[in-house]
Amino acid sequence: MDMTRERLLAEVFVDTADTLVEDFDVIDFLHTLAERCVEILDVDAAGIMLSDAAKVLHAAASSTENARLLELFELQSEAGPCIDAFTTGRPVVNVDLSASAERWPRFAEAAQATGFVSAHALPLRLREKVIGALNLFCERPGTLTAADVRSGQALADVATVAILAHRSLRHADLLAEQLQYALTSRIAIEQAKGVLAERRGISVDEAFALLRGHARSHNLRLSDLAREVANGTSAEAELLGTAGTGESGTTGATGTTGS
């Protein structure tokens, strides 16, 4: 393992330790994890799906808007590597999308239309419990090595432990509450991204970078800020929604991407 990958993996485990604190932001953690997957595994995009109390999968975080849209399509069509990884609890790796038209016809077509040529999916699991899946997408031919798969599964396991361990699961229904909170927060974040993209005249990815950067620099919870921006009910919403250049403008988004 090279030093860069080793350092990035170490950072992920440090981030995981932060999940033990009371005000842990699960959505921000999952987005960070998706970004780390792209850096560590040399893939082009990553996304994380979580199941709710009824065992229904939902898109929770992604490294790019294209990955999020493809995951939504995968959920809508109820077919694809992530669905299989969640259902079986086993990795689905090195999927050549051009050769997957028979197995997942709609997903393979949508993935290639988005620019991806291969895909991988790893279950978010702890022993026999599977709470979601990690999606990895590539825009160029290639395979994950055995070492890559081990590293990717370790990252998926980290996400699982972070969610399950949050607040030590003191109550029997905490897992369902945490997952439901993450999914509800996801809706608010998507709404806020749309508001910022429209008001600023920027892409959805740039809008998310702006939103996340502002939350971090002002020590705000990402989901709380997103609700304020979507509802236009706070000074933060006014600040982010004003198309000026002096305060938290799109220039600031560039510097926060990937942080």
Of 62 and 185, the structure prediction assigns the larger pLDDT to 62
Across the strands, what pairs with 123? 133
CATH classification code of 3-169? 3.30.450.40
- Top-confidence range, 13-22, 77-86, 170-179: 77-86
Query: Does residue 35 have a pLDDT over 90?
Result: no
What pLDDT score does 108 carry?
Answer: 84
pLDDT at 209: 87
Sheet with 129-138: strands ordered across? 57-62, 45-51, 129-138, 118-126, 92-96
Q: What is the pLDDT of residues 137-151, one digit of tens each?
A: 998 877 888 888 888
Task: Average the pLDDT over 3-30 and give the result.
Answer: 63
pLDDT the model gives residue 259: 37
Residue 121 CB neighbours (<10 A): 26
pLDDT of residue 91: 92
Query: For residue range 105-126, what is the model confidence (pLDDT) as tens digits?
Result: 888 888 888 888 888 999 998 8
Q: What is the DSSP letter of 132?
A: E
pTM: 0.63
135-150: b (≥16 Cβ within 10 Å) or e: bbbbeeeeebeeebbe
- Using the predicted structure, report yes or no on whether residue 226 has a pLDDT greater than 70: yes
Confidence tier at 246 by pLDDT (50, 70, 90): very low
User: Can you give the residue ranges of every domain in the chain?
Assistant: 3-169, 184-256
Measured distance CA(111)–CA(89) in Å, rounded: 22
Residue 33's pLDDT is what? 84
Within its chain, how far is the Cα of 159 from the centroid? 10
pLDDT value at residue 172 = 45
pLDDT of residue 252: 40
Ranked by mean pLDDT, the top range of 91-95, 154-158, 173-177 is: 91-95
